[in-house]
Structure 1
Amino acid sequence: MKNRQERAVLWDLDGTLLDSADNHWQAWRGALAELDLDLSRENFLDTFGQRSPAILDLRFPFLEEPEKTRLLDSKRKRYRDLTEHEGLFPGAREWLERLKDSGWHQAVASSSLRNVIEPTLEKLGIASFFEAIVAGDDVIVGKPDPEVFRAAAKKLNVSPDRCVVVEDAPAGIEAARRAGMRTIGIRSAHFDLEADFLADSLLTLPPDAFDRVLFSL
């Protein structure tokens, strides 16, 4: 049975906690160049937050499976080579600490692969803040399907209506809504997010933002 007294924050990773959008785009461009293809930044941002196979199917539906496999392998390798230059967005660590001290459960619910998420959290020194991780390879269908958020809430044993999702992408906001959760949208790349509460950055979130979203709306 879900615990209706507890409360949880489910964090997207890329573009929300982690300043990684440019590295993902550059990794895509490098991999696509191997097949004389390209991806504009606008088209990249429109799909940022979705799983890589879904992005390929949407943007390059004409590719054969061997080409898709080669591209995905190349993109993942290129991205890993770039991750040493990534860091947290300003305010991220402070919010993780504040929420933990206030008794909120926290989980990562991301489209990235587990073998990318776990070393990234360790490298940044924030792994201990999260009681659960649900990665893109843990679910059958990625965002905007709600499976990733429902799975995270289940791992935390917190009812969906007691969860606040922090996202930067339209697909993530839609997934959270379909899961029956409240949403905070961080406009790091998208300015038209249909979230319950919007902020330009984690630094501009008011101190009572999470309580306000969960209890006051």
Structure 2
Amino acid sequence: MPDETFVEAARAHWFAHTDLIRPIAAASAAACSAAEHAPIAVVSANYSDVVRHGLTVVGLDDLPWTIVGRNDVTPTKPATDAYLHAARLLGVFPDQCLAHEDTDEGITAATTAGMNVIDIRHHHWH
């Protein structure tokens, strides 16, 4: 399947099922705390509108997010473009950033961009 066909199918799936997402209290608290101390961003291989919809569903849409999605940069992860673009928009150097990632591609992108990374797949969210 061509990449764009897959991406459009995934986009349709996300919009059809995003309302099933449930917030994780610890992750929500971490995002709120981070927003009190520093600029925050979501860097995603998804489209920005899908990310915004997800943030709305989990009640985090009122935070001052900078959102960088696949519609904002080319190429996407594991290339560094999205993370470097987010850092520029936030007005910070990459080495001042802490990325929370859940994919190998994202970890590669953030690390190669010079950012500190937490692999959230190794954290037990309750």
Shorter-chain TM-score above 0.5:
yes
> Sequence identity of aligned pairs in percent?
28
2: CA distance, partners of 1:114 / 1:156: 16
Q: Which residue of 2 aligns with 1:140?
A: 74
State the match for 2:119 in structure 1: 185
Match in the other structure for 1:156 = 90
1:89 aligns with: 24
Higher RCO (CA-CA < 8 Å; seq separation 6+): 1
- The 8 Å contact of residues 164 and 182 in structure 1, kept in 2 or not, is answered as yes
Q: Distance in 2 between matches of 1:182 and 1:85?
A: 31
Contact 1:108 1:130 in 2 (8 A): no
Quote the offset at 1:98 in angstroms.
Answer: 1.7
Q: CA RMSD in A?
A: 2.1
Equivalent in 112, 118, 123 of residue 200 of structure 1: 123
Q: Which one has the largest radius of gyration?
A: 1
Structure 2 CA distance for partners of 1:97 and 1:115, relative to 1, 3 Å: closer
Deviations along 1:159-194, one digit per CA (max 9) or x if unpaired, are: 11100110011111100111011010111xxxxxxx
Query: Which amino acid in structure 1 is aligned with residue 108 of structure 2?
Result: E
- Tell me if structure 2 keeps the 8 A contact 1:139–1:147: yes
CA distance in 2, matches of 1:95, 1:74: 31
Q: Please state how far the C-alpha of 1:137 moved relative to its aligned partner.
A: 1.2
- Residue 108 to residue 75, structure 1, CA distance change in 2 (3 Å): closer
Runs of at least 5 residues in structure 1 that lack an aligned partner in the other structure: 1-31, 33-51, 54-67, 188-198, 204-217
1:99 equivalent among 21, 30, 34: 34
Equivalent residues of 2:101, 2:119 under 8 A apart: yes
CA distance in 2, matches of 1:106, 1:72: 25
Q: Aligned equivalents of 1:152 and 1:119: distance in 2?
A: 19
Gaps of 5+ in 2: none
Counterpart of 2:49 (choices 115, 118, 121) is 115
Q: CA deviation at 1:72?
A: 4.3
Question: Deviations 1:71-109 (Å, cap 9, x if unpaired)?
Answer: 5444432332111111223411110122223x1211111
In 2, are the aligned partners of 1:135 and 1:148 still within 8 Å (CA)? yes
- 4+ aligned runs moved over 4 Å, structure 1: none
Q: Using a 3 Å threshold, how does the CA distance of structure 1 residues 75 and 110 change in structure 2: closer, same or farther?
A: closer
